[in-house]
A = this chain, B = another copy of it.
């Protein structure tokens, strides 16, 4: 089941650089692992912003919650979640 999630990152400007680099490295590894599992289907950057737009494919709402709150950057993120379904005008049987 698909969800669009918009993640806005709000890191404090005085966070030590080493700490920031370490969290971002863990974030990237986590994100890539979920992409390989086909759970995190797409991730795009919003031009000019520290924000991404992503498409998740989860078993249900609880699974989505678990995946999102597991993000290393989660405590500094604002999340906007939109539940999606297939569009009748889509030419794909299953557009993930």
Contacts and interface: CB of A to CB of B under 8 A. Distances in A.
Nearest to A60: B1
Contact of A47 (B42, B45, B84, B92): B84
A81 B61 CA distance: 13
Contact of A87 (B1, B52, B92): B52
Interface size class for chain A? Answer: 35 or more
A87 B13 contact: no
A61 B88 contact: no
Contact of A84 (B4, B46, B76, B86): B46
Interface string A68-96: 11000001100101111111111110010
B79 A13 contact: no
